[in-house]
Amino acid sequence: DVLTVTSAGTYALYAEDAEGCPTHNEVEVTSAPGPELSLLIDPDLVVCGDPSTVLSASVADGAAIAWEGQAGPDLTVQETGVYEVVGELNDCVQTEEVNVLFQPIPVIEFAVEGEVVSGDVELCFGDFVTLDVSATDGGVAEWDNNGLNALDVMSSGDYFATAVANG
């Protein structure tokens, strides 16, 4: 039989020998301190516009730490993926994972009647123009005024749009 132990203490064992005679014994289970591995970054990390990022973790004094088999508390990464860090102390091993997503920052583009524009747009008094906004690199763009990708403008002023990628 197997006894699963989850805390330190003295455990009594009772059994019968081959002749059916009762026997008993005690076993002392002690608790060794673990590595106390802790991520110093978000486990679901989105990196926008940067070519690399540093993954960081900490452990208790005297514990060993390694990212992807490379010793040390920090690892510089440049690719999307799942990265594992391992802490070890007194034969106790603890692992954590970080899911890293690299993505470009979307660029906002403005258009009038299908033509991309930049800078000021001229408008005659009494007329209106529809300004369209879009984003590159899979981003979703919208005007701050109405939350849509098209805005009818009838007066001069500054109009602002926002682009978001992956939420």
Give the mean pLDDT of the chain.
92
CA distance 24 to 155: 92
Q: What is the pTM of this model?
A: 0.66
Which distant-in-sequence residues (6+ apart) come within 8 Å of 18 by Cβ? none
- Residue 3: which pLDDT band, with cuts at 50, 70 and 90? confident
* Contact present, 67 and 95 (Cβ < 8 Å): no
pLDDT at residue 142, rounded to an integer = 94
- Residue 98: which pLDDT band, with cuts at 50, 70 and 90? very high
Region 82-98: mean pLDDT is 96
pLDDT of residue 61 exceeding 70, the answer is yes
* Contact present, 35 and 88 (Cβ < 8 Å): yes
pLDDT per residue as tens digits for the range 108-158: 999 998 899 988 888 888 899 999 999 988 889 999 989 999 999 998 889
- Residue 167: which pLDDT band, with cuts at 50, 70 and 90? low
The residue among 4 and 59 whose pLDDT is bigger is 59
Region 82-106: mean pLDDT is 95
pLDDT of residue 37 exceeding 80, the answer is yes
pLDDT of residue 160 exceeding 70, the answer is yes
The residue among 118 and 56 whose pLDDT is bigger is 56
**DSSP for 49-115, written as a single string:** S-S-EEEEEE--TT-EEEETTEESSEEEE-S-EEEEEEEEETTEEEEEEEEEEEEPPPPEEEEETTE
